[in-house]
Amino acid sequence: MFPLGTFPACKAATMIVAAGLFASTLAAADAPPATLTDIATLQHIQQEVQQLLPRVRQAVVAIQAGNGTASGVIISADGLVLTAAHVPDKPGRDLKVVLEDGSVTTAKSLGLDKTTDAALARLKDRGKPWPFVNLSREVTKAQPGEWCFALGHPGGFDKARGPVLRVGKIIKQTANGLHSDCVLMGGDSGGPLFNFNGEVIGIHSQIWEGRDQNVHVSMAPFLRSWDAMQKSQVIKTWGVGAGGYLGVATVMSDDLEVAVADVIEGSPALKAGIRTGDVILSVNGDPMTDQQQFSATVRARAAGDQLKLKLRTQGKEHEISVKLAQKPQDEGQ
C-alpha cells in the first residue's frame, strides 16, 4: 500500500523495459566471454515481453482501500481478483478499482490468508466478461534463475504512464512465496508477477530497499485454499505457513541426489513404505534435483493431497503414492 499522490510519475511500461535491458547490457560488458550471448538473450527477452504486454496489462488493476493505493490482477472472466491480504485486510470490504483504460469500478474483498498475505476479491457484475489472465498451477516450476516480470501501479493509477513493468529473475522459492530481483515500489502491493507464458506466478507482498529482498506470494496459498477464500473465509489452517506433511529428513548424496536420511515414526512417509537410504527421483513426474526443491514441492501441497513419488531403493526404481497429513508441531519436513 502507498499513500496517494506522493510518488513521482514514471515512464510508460514499454520504456521501463528498454531502460532495464540497457542497464543489464552495461553490466554484461564486464564479462567479455559472455557479452554477446547475454545481449542476444536480453534482446530475446525484450521481444517476448513486448509480445505479452498488450494482453496481460489489461488485467492489471489499481486498487484503492481507504487512503492507500495498491494493485491487483483479474484472473477470471467473472471478475475474480488476486491481491495481497494486507490490501483489503478483511473480507467484505468495498474496494475502488481502476482498470487499465482508466474506468473505475468497485470490488468486494472475499477470503484472505494473513499469514501468507494472499487475498481474493470479486469485481461487481458488469454484464460482460472482464479481461483476465491465467494463473500458473505448476507452482514448483518457478525455480531460481527463471526470468519473470512484474506489473503494478506504484504510486497509484496514472493513465498517461500506465502500469509499470520491471523485468528480473526469480532468486528463491519458498513454501508459500517467491523472491525476485524485480524492482518494486510502494503501491505495487498486490500486483502480479508473471512467467514468460503470461501466467501469474506471484503476487507482490513485501517490498524492501534491497532489490533481491522483494517477496511475492506464490500461487500455492491461493490454490490450496481456493474454495475457502471464495467463501470469504479467513484462513487459519496454515498459520505456521507450512503445507502438507510427509515426514522425512533428506540430504544430498555424493551423487548429488535427494536421499532420505530419516523417516519420522508414524508419518505418512513411513506408512507409504519410504525407508532411510531411498533416493527420491521425482514427485508427480517432476525430477527432484535438490533438497530445497523437494521441500518446496511437498509444502506447496495441502494435507490430504496425494503425491506420486518415484524412488530408487537398493538400486531398483519404483513408484509409490502417499497421502500428505497435517504438519505436527515442531516436526521437520
State the catalytic residue, choosing from 117, 181, 188, 278: 117
Per-residue pLDDT at 328: 61
Alpha-carbon span 73 to 61, nearest angstrom: 6
Per-residue pLDDT at 206: 83
Please say if 189 is a catalytic residue.
yes
Per-residue pLDDT at 111: 92
Q: How many CB atoms lie within 10 A of CB 138?
A: 13
Note the pLDDT tens digit of each residue in 251-297. 778 788 888 888 888 889 999 999 988 999 999 998 998 877 787 78
Instruction: Pick left, alpha or beta for residue 330 (phi over 0 → left; psi -120 to 50 → alpha; otherwise beta).
Output: left
The CB-side HSE value for 76 (13 A sphere, CA atoms) comes to 12
Per-residue pLDDT at 129: 95
- One CATH from 2.40.10.120, 2.60.200.30, 3.20.20.70, 2.60.40.420 for 44-236: 2.40.10.120
CA 152, 100, 106 angle in degrees (round to 5)?
Answer: 95
Question: Per DSSP, what are the bridge partners of residue 152?
Answer: 164
Question: Per DSSP, what are the bridge partners of residue 151?
Answer: 165
Distances (CA, A) of 277 to 136, 185, 250, 257, 317: 34, 47, 9, 11, 13
> What's the start-to-end Cα distance of the chain, in Å?
34
Per-residue pLDDT at 17: 39
Q: Among residues of the chain, what percentage have pLDDT more than 70?
A: 83
Alpha-carbon span 125 to 94, nearest angstrom: 14
Alpha-carbon span 105 to 125, nearest angstrom: 10
pTM of full prediction above 0.85:
no
The residue ranges of every structural domain in the chain are 44-236, 244-326
Please say if 117 is a catalytic residue.
yes
Per-residue pLDDT at 42: 86
Per-residue pLDDT at 128: 93
Which of 228, 242, 246, 249 shows the shortest CA–CA distance to 300?
A: 242
Per-residue pLDDT at 19: 35
State the catalytic residue, choosing from 136, 180, 189, 225: 189
Please say if 103 is a catalytic residue.
no
Instruction: Label residue 287 exposed, middle or buried (CB < 10 Å: 0-12, 13-18, 19+).
Output: exposed
Alpha-carbon span 154 to 164, nearest angstrom: 7
Q: Residues 40, 76: contact at Cβ < 8 Å?
A: no
Alpha-carbon span 46 to 57, nearest angstrom: 16
- 295, three cell numbers: 521441500
* DSSP states of 300-316: TSPTT-EEEEEEEETTE
Alpha-carbon span 205 to 107, nearest angstrom: 20
Per-residue pLDDT at 318: 95
Alpha-carbon span 144 to 327, nearest angstrom: 26
State the catalytic residue, choosing from 86, 153, 204, 216: 86
Q: Which amino acid is at 130?
A: W
CA 207, 212, 217 angle in degrees (round to 5)?
Answer: 50
Q: Which amino acid is at 274?
A: I
What is the CATH T-level fold of the domain 244-326, as seen in this structure?
Answer: Pdz3 Domain (2.30.42)
Q: Could you tell me the mean pLDDT of each successive run of 10 residues in the chain, 333 residues long?
A: 37 37 35 55 91 96 89 97 93 95 95 88 94 91 91 93 93 86 90 96 84 82 86 64 73 84 85 92 89 78 85 93 74 39
- 142, three cell numbers: 518457478
| 94-123 exposure pattern, b = at least 16 Cβ within 10 A, e = fewer | ebebbbbeeeeeebbbbbbbbbbbbbbbbb
Note the pLDDT tens digit of each residue in 184-232. 888 999 999 999 999 999 999 987 766 666 889 999 889 888 888 888 8
